[in-house]
A and B are shown apart, each in its own frame.
Chain A
Amino acid sequence: MAQILSPLPGTFYRSASPDQPPFKADGDDVAVGDVIGLIEVMKSFHEVKSDVAGKNVQFVTDNEEPVMAGAVLADLS
């Protein structure tokens, strides 16, 4: 089982803006390089790109939740 980790500390967002659908829904497949969310660090936004591929993504960090660098954002099977 692979995991997607947060590269930065900050606030995790699952979509580009509140009125947009999430980048990935639970159950989606993920390819290397897919954007799976954003991390807001000191008012600037950074895309989180997966460096692993897998199926059936399950997010363990909620939208708008604070995270530390290295925290698990999602599991892949």
Chain B
Amino acid sequence: MIRKLLVANRGEIAVRIIRAARDLGIATVAVHSEADRDSLHVQLADEAVNIGPPAAKKSYLSVSAILKAASDTGADAVHPGYGFLAENADFADAVVADGLTWVGPSGAAIRLMGDKVSARIAADKAGVPVVPGSMGRVASIIEARDILKETGFPVMIKAAAGGGGRGIRIANDQTEFEAAFPQAAAEALAAFGDGGLYMEKVIGQARHIEVQILGDGARAIHCYERECSLQRRRQKVWEEAPSMALSPALRAELCASAVRLAEAVNYSGAGTIEYLYDDAADRFYFIEMNTRIQVEHPVTEMITGIDLVAAMLRIAGGEALWIKQQDVQIRGHAIEVRLNAEDPAKGFAPFPGTISDLRLPGGPGVRFDSMLYAGYTVPPFYDSLLAKLIVHADSREAAITRLTRALSETRIEGCKTTKPLFLALAADASVRAGAFHTRWLEGWLDANSDRLSPDT
């Protein structure tokens, strides 16, 4: 049992975790930077500790400052939220070494699933389909030609030491491949001091679909999937549950594969297994696992009735998983949109400011997860997420109608926000039909920039 929880995060997720802890009768400790003195999570927690200057690396990323705050307040557990130190295996190990309970999977599980190659091998071993390609470094062009039989064309050649889109080449046929492979090796050696290459099939148009799982270290269950294909610059902006694209049979197969992988790595806590789903081929492929609670977790909570953050706290406190798989049912449809302090009419430029007026949406099927209050000054030092508006209804169509209703009730004055984007998307025929893929939104934004001013 956890008695006093330190929340090693800020913003809406810190508020969300404090709420879950208080629902379970657990005392809470907030930590904050000098820039977050007046933040809502500080006001809601039982105690608060200033852990350093505004720069995240001197406060929210400072392992020593956070561990000292835990020791000074007598906290017996740490919840990392998402971002910051949430997927830092060394932090997880340091928390445990200090005799505290870490609310999340072990440092070893974070390391295993956080490394792209070892995660891919673990998924393959658990019988989870992975994107066809090399299972690590390709030793030679002879081995590379063999791998082409599985990937086909186009194929991506990636520098093992690259990252963030650097050191990637795409070959569309054998001739291009024969020229590109040695060039890529030479370039990788010159750029990164390491000529190692990976190969991967290029999946053209795909959806991003992810499965929520809960594990207790021995047994795991899934809480169905989320559809997160509406993305801008690889950042999700609108998420739903369930996905409108899966047949019941494929949904069952997808979710079962996620449970197999979670059990294979003795996963403990809440985690998400991310897939690409190729509609045309009706196939899904593992891409990565996130070993933390995710921003979009509320849509899963709305359709299953499971409080995922409370579940994390109970599992970390030592309870064996109390939910049976057959008791997890999908009820209706949920949508979350991310209200960011950005101006969609000006290329999504960040827009920190002071909240001069705030009107919250309400009524049936509406949830608003946020750290905002009237008079709050949004600091410029952290990410731009102000609030998550989540709606739930019997059907997807009704959920979109309800989203429009709730957005029209919402007023956030003092900052520009992404609300106009979501009003426009909710009215769009392709969005209403659920016909999109991960690169759809960027094209839509290019064509519809005139619809994103707040006055339309």
Binding site for B on A (CB under 8 A): 8-11, 40-44, 64, 66
Contacts and interface: CB of A to CB of B under 8 A. Distances in A.
A10 B380 contact: yes
B53 A42 contact: no
Contact of B35 (A43, A64, A66): A66
B382 interface: yes
A42 B382 contact: yes
Contacts of A8: 380
A63 to B, nearest CB: 11
Given A11-B381, A42-B383, A66 B352 contact: no
Given A41-B350, A42-B350, A44-B350, A11 B383 contact: no
A40 B382 CA distance: 9
Given A11-B54, A43-B382, A64-B55, 8 more contacts: A9-B352, A9-B380, A10-B380, A41-B352, A42-B341, A42-B350, A42-B383, A42-B384
Interface residues of B, number: 14
Contacts of B55: 11, 64, 66
A8 B384 CA distance: 15
Interface string B21-54: 0000000000000010000000000000000011
Interface of B is mostly: loop
Contacts of A64: 55
A64 B380 CA distance: 13
Contacts of B383: 42-43
Give the residue among B54, B342, B350, B383 with the most A Cβ atoms within 10 A. B350
Contacts of A41: 350, 352, 380
- Those 10 A-B pairs whose CB atoms lie nearest each other, nearest first: A42-B350, A9-B380, A42-B384, A10-B380, A41-B350, A66-B54, A41-B380, A44-B350, A43-B383, A9-B352
A23 to B, nearest CB: 20
B256 to A, nearest CB: 37
Nearest to A44: B350
Contacts of B352: 9-10, 41-42
A11 B350 CA distance: 13
Given A41-B380, A43-B383, A66 B350 contact: no
Interface string B51-84: 0011100000000000000000000000000000
A11 B58 CA distance: 13
Contacts of A66: 35, 53-55, 381
A14 to B, nearest CB: 15
Contacts of B342: 42
A43 to B, nearest CB: 6
A66 B35 CA distance: 10
B51 to A, nearest CB: 16
Nearest to A9: B380
B211 to A, nearest CB: 28
Contacts of A11: 54-55, 380-381
Interface centre among A8, A41, A42, A66 (most CB of B within 10 A): A42
B59 to A, nearest CB: 11
B359 to A, nearest CB: 23
Contacts of A44: 349-350
Contacts of B53: 66
Residue with the highest number of chain A CB atoms closer than 10 Å, among B341, B352, B380: B380
Nearest to B377: A9
A43 B350 CA distance: 9
11 contacts: A9-B380, A10-B381, A11-B381, A41-B350, A41-B352, A41-B380, A42-B352, A42-B380, A43-B350, A44-B349, A66-B54
A59 B206 CA distance: 49
A46 to B, nearest CB: 8
Interface in B302-354: 341-342, 349-350, 352
Contacts of B35: 66
A12 to B, nearest CB: 11
Nearest to B33: A66
Contacts of A10: 352, 380-381
A9 B233 CA distance: 23
